[in-house]
Amino acid sequence: MSKITIHDVANLANVSKSTVSQYLNKRFTYMREETKQRIEEAIRELNYQPNIVARSLKQKRTSTIGVIVANILHTFSTKVIRAIEDICQEQDVHVIVCNADDQPEKEKRYIEMLQAKQVDGLIIFPTGGNYDLYESMIQQKYPIIFMDRIVQALPIPSFLLDNDKAARIAVDYFVEKGHSHIAIVTTSILRSITPRVERIDGYKRAIAANGLTLREDYIISRDIGDINSHLQKLFALTEPPTAILAGNDLALIEVLDFVKGRCLRIPQDIALIGIDDVSFAHIFSPSLTTISQPAYQMGTEAAALLLAKIKKTQNADTDRLFRYAPLLNIRGSV
């Protein structure tokens, strides 16, 4: 069988090829409903499949973007991906998602692979380890957005939480509930990952602002596999903490696992707040007090800006830093 073409669809629907092209590109402004139905029926009857490669060459776009997350296990990452996919689906844009596993080398390979596939732009949760590559994309005027993290001195639009405020809200609430021995547990900051560094800095400022003594032994920042052993050292102190701020969802899970293993009671033995509103927070016993960020809104607005940059629409050249307010969800763990 010969391949069905746009010409065949036009003949069967009794319209011009340009009208079919307008239909395929969703330009319906001046198209009668009856015409749309005839084209739709012709496409269905002929089982016509548009030539995406040919269309991409003509439009000089592939209608595809890439999303490279630093660690897809984070609740925040999956919520943002969902938002990006929803926005792109509305605009008939495909999304390729890659997981860098917090490894700069893996991130680099994905960036190069996606550019080789000629995706129209990228949303990256940067590992921070590919500065030269990020800079080269800027010089090429390649559409790029950063999510959740900042790479200093690069004029790339970045969408992230007010992490300092998130930590301060948590410490202030612990103090309000009578706690003065407050620890923070988060994943490693060896590569200066923005939210982790900012949350620790916010914690330190909040401790000082509340007139408490800052204790370095109350600050745990380690790889996931090492957190449990450092929690054991933390609780072996003469004055162990009575409250813990878990700096992200993965750290929260490690803290909960440790608490269960030590048969500690929440909040009687240890009060707990986690940054990132994990899906099980409200059904855990007791329910977990968390600080959430508007992940869906952040993903939606990042995707909208990237698509605007790709289309070169007005006001799309911003290099702004977009900060979002945290929200304290009071439940039963404090």
Q: Do domains 63-160+295-324 and 163-293 have the same CATH topology?
A: yes
pTM over 0.85? The answer is no
Is pLDDT of 58 > 60? no
Task: Fill in the amino acid letter for 324.
Answer: Y
Mean pLDDT of 262-289: 95
Q: Which of 11-15, 252-256, 290-294 shows the lowest per-residue confidence on average (mean pLDDT)? A: 11-15
- Per-domain residue ranges of the chain: 6-50, 63-160+295-324, 163-293
Q: Examine the pLDDT at 172 and tell me if it is beyond 70.
A: yes
> How much is the average pLDDT of 100-129?
94
Residue scoring higher pLDDT (241 or 23): 241
Is residue 71 scored above 70 in pLDDT?
yes
Contact of 151 with 135, CB cutoff 8 Å: no
Report the pLDDT value the prediction gives residue 29, as an integer from 0 to 100: 78
SS3 for 146? strand
pLDDT of residue 61: 72
Provide the pLDDT confidence category of residue 309 given band limits of 50, 70 and 90.
Answer: very high
Q: How far apart are CA 93 and CA 33, in angstroms?
A: 24
* Residue 261 pLDDT: 96
| Half-sphere exposure at residue 61, Cβ-oriented, CA atoms within 13 angstroms | 17
* Domain 63-160+295-324 homologous superfamily, CATH: Response regulator (3.40.50.2300)
CATH architecture classification, 163-293: 3-Layer(aba) Sandwich (3.40)
Q: Which pLDDT band holds residue 52 (cuts at 50, 70, 90)? A: low
Return d(Cα 14, Cα 219) in angstroms, integer.
72
**Calpha distance 205→156 (Å, rounded):** 28
Tens digit of each residue's pLDDT (9 = 90 or more) over 17-36: 889 888 887 778 788 899 99
Percent over 90 (pLDDT), the chain:
76
Q: Quick check: 62 pLDDT over 70?
A: yes
Name which of 181, 255, 195 is nearest 224 in CA terms.
Answer: 255
Is 80 exceeded by the pLDDT of residue 103? Answer: yes
* pLDDT for res 186: 96
